[in-house]
């Protein structure tokens, strides 16, 4: 305990009674207070306490620990030299003023090239999205074209220390951005501006393959390219107008071709109908002719049968029958007039008597 506090308590316990001359305080009860033990030993431990307080203050100011979150990697540098093994997510200690820990993002990152967004190369804090101006390129004829695309990539965790040591914390601007711009210019420069909209898919595939090949060729493969999307091809106004005129002309040609095709189909339909009608008439006429032929053949067959059925005995019989009727008529009227009408094998015989009521017609 400090000396001044001991003196204070001694005086309180009666050390100053003589100075009062034995007057008014002779009958008072002596006041004796002992200090706590920790206060008695405080003077001996004060140095240690001061040292602990100083250590705590230094620890708070220097912060010799770091917490690495998921999706991040820590890179420890000792005396300015990066260690080759990255620090995994978790709690880590390091020596202040001698060691330093750099935290890098290993999550998927996006780099947009667009003329509608902020033109400056701006990185939204904590978002992992970097915005750049649209890529200005020249086509095969030297006409200016703007390309808007999006690239998704991420830092390779296992080689992150070497990447940061080689490229620094601005590794995106040194690896991704130049490669994307160079490859895009090289691909677009092979086409005319008018061809770009029609060959959009081919161009997108060529750009992605070129970027992937260029990034994989970097020493240590520092970055993994995930995807590349070709969002927009911005053509000059004159080229757009020319393409629109060509499209309108093509649509007109297609419309004319469609109308011609419809007219041809209608003509073929009418021709088919006319041919069908002609064939129907032909079939009808053929049917009628066949019917007449069949009827004539039937009549001829019937006549032939009739002719075949007339024989000499039959004719003789018919003559006898006629002669009998002739004789019968004469028997009834001897004055009758007989008229013979030639016709066929057996003639018709008309007998005209004086009495008209007795006229007799004899026929076959």
Average pLDDT over residues 291-304: 82
Is 347 a residue whose pLDDT tops 60? no
Neighbouring C-alpha atoms within 13 Å toward the C-beta of 301: 6
CB count within 10 Å of CB 148 equals 19
Residue 295 binned pLDDT confidence (cut-offs 50, 70, 90): confident
Closest listed residue to residue 220, CA positions, set 166, 153, 151, 154: 166
Mean pLDDT of 358-363: 46
Count of CB atoms situated within 10 Å of the CB of 123? 14
CB of 193 within 8 A of CB of 143?
yes
pLDDT above 60: residue 92: yes
CB atoms near residue 74 (< 10 Å): 21
Distance, CA of 112 to CA of 115 (rounded, Å): 10
- Mutual angle of helices 160-167 and 171-188, in 10-degree steps: 80
Determine the distance from the C-alpha atom of residue 21 to the mean position of all C-alpha atoms in its chain, rounded to a whole number: 111
- The candidate with the shortest Cα–Cα distance to 172, out of 229, 104, 220, 230, is 104
pLDDT > 90 in the chain, percent: 21
Q: Is the pLDDT of residue 3 over 60?
A: no
Q: Which of 26-35, 212-221, 224-233, 314-323 has the lowest mean pLDDT?
A: 26-35
| Rounded Cα gap, residues 349 and 345, in angstroms | 13
User: 137-146, 160-169, 244-253, 349-358: which range is least confident on average?
Assistant: 349-358
Share above pLDDT 70 across residues of the chain, in percent, rounded to a whole number: 73
Alpha-helical (H) ranges within 90-154 are: none
* Token pair listed for 166: 């080689």
Domain at 109-235, CATH from 3.40.50.300, 3.30.450.20, 3.30.70.1350, 3.30.479.30: 3.30.479.30
Interval 133-139 mean pLDDT? 91
Burial of 111 (0-12, 13-18, 19+ CB in 10 A): buried
DSSP per position, 213-269: HHHHTSTT--EEEEEEEEEEEE--HHHHHHHHHHHHHHHHHHHHHHHHHHHHHHHHH
Q: Residues 69-92: what's their mean pLDDT?
A: 89
Q: Give the pLDDT confidence score for residue 276 in this predicted structure.
A: 85
pLDDT at 225 over 90: yes
What is the DSSP annotation of 63-88?
Answer: --EEEEPTTEEEEEEETTEE-SSPBP
Per residue in 8-29, pLDDT tens?
545 555 544 444 444 444 455 5
Angle value at C-alpha 237, between 233 and 239, nearest 5 degrees = 75
Grade residue 38 by pLDDT with cuts at 50, 70 and 90.
Answer: low
Helix, strand, or coil (residue 209): helix
Distance of alpha carbon 106 from alpha carbon 172, whole angstroms: 12
| Domain residue ranges in the chain | 3-21+28-62, 65-105, 109-235, 241-309, 312-362
Average pLDDT, the chain: 77
Q: What is the pLDDT of residue 213?
A: 94
**Owner of token pair 């007219």:** 263
Distance CA 211, CA 147 (A): 15
Which band of pLDDT confidence, cut at 50, 70 and 90, is reported for residue 342? low
């Amino acid at each position: 305990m400090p000396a001044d506090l001991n003196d204070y308590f001694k005086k309180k316990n009666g050390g100053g009674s003589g100075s009062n001359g034995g007057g008014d305080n002779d009958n008072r009860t002596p006041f004796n207070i002992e200090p706590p033990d920790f206060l008695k030993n405080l003077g001996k431990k004060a140095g240690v306490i001061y040292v602990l307080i100083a250590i705590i203050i230094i620890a708070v100011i220097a912060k010799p620990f770091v917490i690495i979150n998921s999706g991040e990697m820590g890179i420890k540098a000792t005396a300015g030299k990066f260690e080759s093994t990255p620090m995994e997510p978790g709690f880590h200690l390091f020596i202040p003023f001698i060691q330093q820990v750099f935290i890098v993002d290993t999550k998927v990152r996006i780099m947009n090239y667009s003329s509608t967004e902020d033109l400056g190369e701006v990185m939204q804090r904590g978002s992992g999205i970097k915005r750049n101006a649209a890529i200005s390129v020249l086509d095969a004829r030297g006409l200016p074209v703007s390309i808007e695309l999006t690239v998704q990539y991420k830092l390779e965790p296992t080689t992150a220390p070497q990447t940061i040591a080689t490229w620094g914390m601005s590794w995106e601007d040194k690896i991704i951005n130049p490669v994307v711009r160079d490859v895009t210019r090289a691909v677009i420069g092979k086409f005319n501006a008018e061809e770009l909209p029609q060959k959009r898919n081919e161009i997108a595939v060529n750009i992605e393959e070129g970027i992937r090949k260029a990034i994989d060729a970097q020493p240590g493969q520092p970055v993994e390219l995930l995807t590349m999307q070709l969002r927009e091809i911005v053509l000059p106004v004159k080229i757009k107008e020319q393409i629109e005129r060509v499209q309108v002309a093509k649509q007109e040609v297609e419309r004319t071709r469609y109308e011609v095709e419809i007219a041809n189909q209608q003509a073929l339909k009418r021709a088919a109908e006319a041919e069908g009608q002609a064939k129907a008439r032909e079939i009808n006429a053929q049917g009628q002719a066949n019917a007449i032929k069949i009827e004539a053949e039937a009549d001829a067959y019937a006549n032939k049968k009739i002719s075949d059925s007339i024989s000499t005995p039959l004719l003789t019989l018919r003559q006898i029958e006629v002669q009998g009727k002739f004789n019968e008529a004469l028997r009834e009227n001897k004055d009758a007039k007989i008229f013979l009408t030639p016709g066929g094998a057996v003639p018709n015989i008309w007998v005209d008597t004086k009495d008209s009521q007795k006229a007799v017609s004899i026929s076959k």
